[in-house]
């Protein structure tokens, strides 16, 4: 009797599942703030409800070890259909053959509307797209600047190196602040390259020779780079910035008048300081202000059995309405020209429109080479040594040697 | 009645034992099989793979085929050379002096770059002895700095941690009410995640807002200036030593406690009757009674200390200026962050051999005359 019951149940189970079950598309994302997770969850629900062919199921992975987790999954041939990647790691995945080009899958009209900050490319092919970008800027307290008689710069007329130095020294000398600026050197990992390689580029140096991305001699340790390194070291030696910040709350708690960080802090900071808050463009150190481009983006794995389903979701996600909703819910910068006018903060009269302008005017991508993980790790180590007072020329020379040997070991990463 | 049984056991002294011990061994094997399988799959096999990888150019992610590269990784890791520097001379052969009257030397990097055989070397440190300047150069200076750091760390943390643990074990071994509470309190850091503890201590150590500096300042009426515990090259490692000793000592304490309680009470009573004092009881009963416990604790603590990683990764990332970088950290960075699994494996293999050697030497020393 038991057996008949069991088979009846099994039959019932099978017949239910066989009835027009949508194809499951697995997706991984790294853990982020609640706003972003919820906005993403809502978008997935909208997609699942909009059609009956596919069903996107997502899994959230811890942020700290996320890139290692997807690397391990790639090696074990266990990648989900869709997953998010930090844009500079995209060429590495593409070179290794774990993600597929999106050109054939993405709606051609949609593709044309995506800004540089929303695309991950390698050797002329598009491999990843992102709904949002972030931008860097210097948050400042208007009251502190006007009290010290410092000019408030604009995107059209940013501070020069001399003006920036003078501003820091005036603020320090006023005695109101132990440190005039917070640059978040307490963060680990990618922040260092994301935040400080644009400064290096504004000085006239670069991480790699931009022509071929296979050598660093003369660009990462050339005179402009050394000038940048010495200036950067001076920020700490002169007591303008804290060598070892305890947390990232210095600006929020009123311990510093200037804070160099990304647009993600905008809503918290404006809640706290209201009309006293002003966001300044990064200084022009010689070659114009520069900020990092591109944030986390979505790609489709080569092992995905239903790329059409994955592509349907990505097309859905990149539609102007979806991108705009994401931006409204998270206050992140939209990456498509179609979405920007639909957003609350980034339409032509929005209160954060300037970030959209910063992104468009100043954003530079990190080098699109599969060797990027090594380059960024080496750059971070070199910058940390410089903060601690190491000889700038020697440190940068060593970094160049390490990077060039790594490129040689990897046979040029398929770039030459 | 008792004689025949006595005789029978005497006639076949080995037979019954053999009969019993074989099935015992068999069932022991069966019962330990799951654990042994786990040990093999998760420890032995990865280690064998690491040895294999260390002779290749295996990358974490790369379309390039894996190649056998012989000892290249070991050469890169372990190569060290001494380099005697000649003072710079002018065209007439006279030694050039700087403003302070000292001879000037060429930049080490230019010397290394000018010689094809020395191209991959970097300066580790330079010493001036008897008017001669000698530079020690290595292909991977970070490895040697890391090695020195973990040796320093072990030399500091092992005596500190074990000493305090022994003291605590004595304290909580007293038969006083409420001892369980103290045992729990002292043990609690061990069961808390190291990452959490490291983050909390990072705040405690902070120069500006840290509790430790504020306490020191209050206790000394402002005479002790704030110390940059994790930001100062000379103190950072010590700060990590103090924090690690505090975190880990609970475990040693429990082991010592078990050791203390296994020493028969009668020995102390007998010693007391003989008129032994506190120190004599400790020296001639407690210490010999704790000998095996002490060996175990010292060895495991040293092995643990040589694998230092988590605290450093959370608190200083190896800084300031490599003063807290460790070999394990170098291995993890090379293997995962920089995706060079072959080189990361090489570092782990070398670290394994070093730990094995140190543990063997330590065992020899601590066993003393015993076999």
CA pair distance B359, A331, nearest whole angstrom: 56
Closest Cα in chain B to A371 = B338
Over residues A357-412, the pLDDT tens digits come to 888 889 888 998 999 989 998 999 999 999 988 899 989 999 999 999 899 888 88
User: Which residue out of B199, B337, B344 would a mutagenesis test of the A interface target, given it has the greatest number of A Cβ atoms within 10 Å?
Assistant: B337
Closest Cα in chain A to B119 = A401
pTM of the predicted model, to two decimals? 0.82
CA pair distance B207, A30, nearest whole angstrom: 33
Closest Cα in chain A to B72 = A409
Nearest in space to A92 (alpha carbons), one of B337, B181, B270: B337
CB distance A377–B338 less than 8 Å?
yes
Nearest in space to A400 (alpha carbons), one of A186, A202, A205, A230: A205
Query: How far A12 CA sits from the closest chain B CA (Å)?
Result: 38
For residue A361, give both structure tokens: 């005017």
Burial of B232 (0-12, 13-18, 19+ CB in 10 A): middle
What's the DSSP call for residue A335? -
Q: Which residues on A lie below 8 Å from B312 (Cβ)? A: none
Whether B305 and B251 have beta carbons less than 8 Å apart is answered as no
Over residues B228-241, the pLDDT tens digits come to 888 888 899 999 99
CA pair distance A380, A373, nearest whole angstrom: 11
Q: How far is CA B52 from the centre of its chain?
A: 25
Tell which A residues from 200 to 259 touch B, by Cβ distance under 8 Å: 242-244, 246-247
Mean pLDDT of chain B: 85
CA pair distance B137, B126, nearest whole angstrom: 9
Q: Which residues on A lie below 8 Å from B137 (Cβ)? A: none
Rounded-to-10 torsion of CA A243, A246, A247, A250: -70
Over residues A296-347, the pLDDT tens digits come to 999 999 999 999 999 999 999 999 999 999 998 888 899 998 898 999 889 8
Helices (H), chain B: 2-11, 15-39, 45-53, 72-78, 108-114, 141-172, 179-191, 194-205, 211-219, 236-261, 265-273, 278-281, 287-289, 291-306, 310-315, 327-332, 341-367
The winner for highest mean pLDDT among A1-15, B107-121, B212-226 is: B212-226
Least confident segment among A34-48, A60-74, A273-287, B236-250 = A60-74
Q: Is A397 part of the contact surface with chain B (CB cutoff 8 Å)?
A: yes
The winner for highest mean pLDDT among A4-18, A110-124, B117-131 is: A110-124
Q: How many CB atoms lie within 10 A of CB A14?
A: 10
Q: Is A199 part of the contact surface with chain B (CB cutoff 8 Å)?
A: no
Average pLDDT over residues B86-109: 78
Which residue in the set B61, B209, B319 is minimally distant from A388, CB to CB?
A: B319
Helices (H), A119-248: 142-147, 161-173, 191-203, 223-237
Over residues A85-141, the pLDDT tens digits come to 999 999 999 998 999 999 989 988 888 889 888 999 998 899 999 999 999 999 999
Nearest in space to A376 (alpha carbons), one of A132, A193, A147, A228: A193
* For residue B7, pLDDT beyond 50: no
Per-state percent for chain A, helix, strand, coil, to nearest 5: 45, 15, 35
Share of chain A above pLDDT 90, in %: 58
CA pair distance A55, B184, nearest whole angstrom: 50
CB distance A373–B338 less than 8 Å?
yes
Q: Give the per-residue pLDDT at A8.
A: 57
A60, A256, A267, A355, B296 from A148: Cα distances, Å: 47, 14, 26, 26, 64
Q: Is B61 part of the contact surface with chain A (CB cutoff 8 Å)?
A: yes
- At A32, give phi and psi (nearest 5°): -130, -165
C-beta pairs of B328-337 under 8 Å, 24+ apart in sequence: B328/B150, B329/B146, B330/B142, B330/B143, B330/B146, B333/A377, B335/B60, B336/A68, B336/A71, B336/B60, B337/A373, B337/A377
Over residues B328-342, the pLDDT tens digits come to 999 998 988 888 899
Q: Give the per-residue pLDDT at B41.
A: 94
Over residues B134-160, the pLDDT tens digits come to 888 899 999 999 999 999 999 999 999
Whether A205 and A380 have beta carbons less than 8 Å apart is answered as no
Whether B140 and B72 have beta carbons less than 8 Å apart is answered as no
Tell which A residues from 65 to 94 touch B, by Cβ distance under 8 Å: 68, 71, 74-75, 92-93
CB distance A75–B339 less than 8 Å?
no
More confident position, B48 or A245: B48
Q: How many CB pairs under 8 A join A and B?
A: 81
Q: Give the per-residue pLDDT at B368.
A: 62
The pLDDT-based confidence of B5 (bands split at 50, 70, 90) is very low
Whether A148 and A348 have beta carbons less than 8 Å apart is answered as no
* For residue A18, pLDDT beyond 50: no
Helices B194-205 and B211-219: crossing angle in degrees, nearest 10, is 40
Whether B326 and B153 have beta carbons less than 8 Å apart is answered as yes
- ipTM for this model: 0.74
* For residue A63, pLDDT beyond 90: no
CB distance B63–A401 less than 8 Å?
no
Q: How many CB atoms lie within 10 A of CB A8?
A: 10
Report angle CA B51, B56, B59 to the nearest 5 degrees. 105
* For residue A19, pLDDT beyond 60: no
> Residue A262 in 3-state DSSP?
strand
């Amino acid at each position: 009797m038991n057996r008949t019951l069991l088979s009846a149940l099994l039959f019932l189970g099978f017949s239910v599942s066989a009835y027009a079950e949508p194809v499951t598309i697995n997706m991984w994302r790294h853990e982020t703030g609640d706003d972003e997770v919820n906005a993403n969850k809502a978008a997935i629900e909208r997609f699942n409800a909009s059609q009956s062919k596919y069903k996107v199921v997502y899994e959230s992975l811890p942020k700290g070890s996320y890139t290692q987790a997807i690397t391990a999954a790639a090696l074990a041939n266990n990648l989900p259909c869709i997953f998010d990647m930090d844009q500079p790691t995209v060429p590495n995945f593409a070179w290794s053959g774990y993600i597929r080009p999106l050109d054939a899958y993405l709606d051609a009209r949609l593709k044309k509307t995506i800004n540089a900050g929303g695309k991950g490319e390698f050797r002329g092919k598009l491999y990843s797209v992102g709904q949002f970008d972030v931008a860097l800027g210097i948050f400042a307290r208007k009251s502190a600047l006007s009290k010290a008689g410092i000019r408030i710069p604009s995107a059209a007329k940013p501070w020069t190196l001399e003006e920036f130095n003078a501003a820091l020294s005036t603020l320090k000398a006023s005695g109101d602040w132990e440190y005039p600026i917070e640059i978040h050197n307490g963060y680990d990992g990618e922040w260092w390259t994301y935040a400080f390689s644009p400064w290096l580029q504004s000085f006239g140096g670069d991480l790699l020779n931009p022509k071929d991305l296979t050598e660093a001699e003369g660009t990462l340790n050339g005179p402009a780079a050394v000038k940048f390194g010495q200036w950067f070291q001076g920020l700490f030696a002169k007591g303008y910035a804290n060598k070892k910040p305890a947390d990232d709350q210095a600006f929020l708690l009123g311990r510093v008048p200037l804070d160099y960080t990304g647009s993600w802090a905008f809503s918290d900071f404006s809640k706290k300081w209201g009309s006293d808050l002003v966001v300044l463009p990064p200084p022009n150190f010689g070659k114009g202000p520069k900020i990092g481009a591109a944030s986390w983006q979505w790609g489709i794995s080569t092992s995905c059995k239903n790329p059409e389903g994955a592509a349907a979701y990505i097309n859905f996600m990149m539609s102007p309405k979806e991108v705009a909703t994401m931006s409204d819910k998270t206050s992140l910068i939209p990456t498509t020209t179609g979405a920007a006018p639909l957003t609350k903060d980034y339409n032509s009269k929005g209160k954060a429109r300037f970030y959209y302008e910063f992104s468009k005017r100043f954003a530079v991508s990190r080098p699109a080479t599969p060797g990027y993980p090594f380059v960024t790790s080496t750059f971070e180590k070199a910058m940390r040594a410089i903060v601690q007072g190491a000889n700038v020329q020697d440190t940068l020379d060593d970094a160049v040697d390490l990077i060039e040997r790594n490129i040689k070991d990897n046979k040029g990463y398929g770039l030459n | 009645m008792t004689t025949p049984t006595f005789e029978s056991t005497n006639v076949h002294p080995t037979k019954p034992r053999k009969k019993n011990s074989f099935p015992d061994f068999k069932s022991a094997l069966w019962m330990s099989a799951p654990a042994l399988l786990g040990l093999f799959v998760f420890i032995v096999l990865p280690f064998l793979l690491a040895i294999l990888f260390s002779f290749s150019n295996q990358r974490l992610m790369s379309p390039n085929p894996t190649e056998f590269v012989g000892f290249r990784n070991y050469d890169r890791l372990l190569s060290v050379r001494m380099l005697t520097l000649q003072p710079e001379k002018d065209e007439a052969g006279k030694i050039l002096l700087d403003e302070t009257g000292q001879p000037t030397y060429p930049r080490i990097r230019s010397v290394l770059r000018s010689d094809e055989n020395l191209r991959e070397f970097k300066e580790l440190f330079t010493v001036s002895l008897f008017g001669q300047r000698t530079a020690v150069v290595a292909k991977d200076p970070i490895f040697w700095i890391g090695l020195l750091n973990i040796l320093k760390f072990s030399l500091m943390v092992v005596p500190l941690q074990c000493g305090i643990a022994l003291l605590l074990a004595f304290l909580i071994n007293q038969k006083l009410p409420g001892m369980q509470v103290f045992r729990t309190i002292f043990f609690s850091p061990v069961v808390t995640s190291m990452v959490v503890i490291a983050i909390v201590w990072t705040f405690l150590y902070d120069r500006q807002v840290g509790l430790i500096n504020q306490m020191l300042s209050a206790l000394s009426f402002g005479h002790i200036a704030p110390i940059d515990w994790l930001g100062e090259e000379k103190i950072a490692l010590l700060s990590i030593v103090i924090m690690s000793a505090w975190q880990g000592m609970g475990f040693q304490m429990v082991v010592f406690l078990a050791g203390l309680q296994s020493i028969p009470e009668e020995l102390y009573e007998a010693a007391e009757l003989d008129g032994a004092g506190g120190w004599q009881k400790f020296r001639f009963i407690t210490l010999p009674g704790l000998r095996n416990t002490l060996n175990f604790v010292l060895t495991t603590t040293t092995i643990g200390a040589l694998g230092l990683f988590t605290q450093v990764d959370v608190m200083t990332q190896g800084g300031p200026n490599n003063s807290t970088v460790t070999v394990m950290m170098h291995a993890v960075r090379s293997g995962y962050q920089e995706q060079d699994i072959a080189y990361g494996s090489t570092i782990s293999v070398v670290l394994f051999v070093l730990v094995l050697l140190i543990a063997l030497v330590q065992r020899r020393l601590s066993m003393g005359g015993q076999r």
